[in-house]
Amino acid sequence: MARYENEGQWGREGYDYTQGREGYDYSRGREGYEHSRSREAYEDRSEPSTSRFTVIRRINGIISLVCGLFAAVLAVHIFLFVFEANFGNPFAAFVSDWARMVSLGLGNLFLPPNEKAQIALNQGIAAILWLVIGWLVTTIIARILLPYPDRSWYRRSQ
């Protein structure tokens, strides 16, 4: 017993595969497909231009990359410090200098008695903050500079 009207017809000879279950004609490609919403509803939407979208997307990508890089430098410094790397090594010294610059002033936020715990806790918080800052800035830029009809909280009334 068939649950659906077209069930069992897909393997039969003579079945017209260009007709969908709802009767849409797929043989003409996307032009023949009629959606439940009208075409005018899609044309009335104020979509951003492709070049504007691309520029904003690249700016957000750069911001995400920089914030992620700062968080990665802090994570590598935590790893090197906890596992007692030789900070006389140029790579370790370079990472340590960068970590000191991008720690957001959180180097002495918590002062546990263990120095490894202090570095891990303070710079770990700074790394997480860099990721949150990157997410927040890119979200705000996208919401303000790429307006959509459902995002009208920042627009003036006309």
Residue 94 and residue 118 in one domain:
yes
Question: Quick one: 100 and 139 in the same domain?
Answer: yes
Secondary structure (3-state) at 77: helix
* Judgement on whether residues 92 and 67 belong to the same structural domain of the protein: no
Q: Quick check: is 156 in a domain?
A: no
Supply the pLDDT for residue 52. 80
Quote the pTM value. Answer: 0.62
pLDDT tens-place string over residues 64-101: 999 999 999 999 999 999 999 999 999 999 999 999 99
* pLDDT tens sequence across 56-67: 889 999 999 999
Residue 133 and residue 70: Cα distance in Å, rounded?
11
Q: Tell me the Ramachandran region of residue 104: left when phi exceeds 0, alpha when psi lies from -120 to 50, beta otherwise.
A: left
Domain presence at residue 95: yes
The confidence score (pLDDT) of residue 50 equals: 73
Same domain for 64 and 96: no
Domain that holds residue 78: 53-86
Residue 146: pLDDT band with limits 50, 70, 90:
confident
Number of domains in the chain: 2
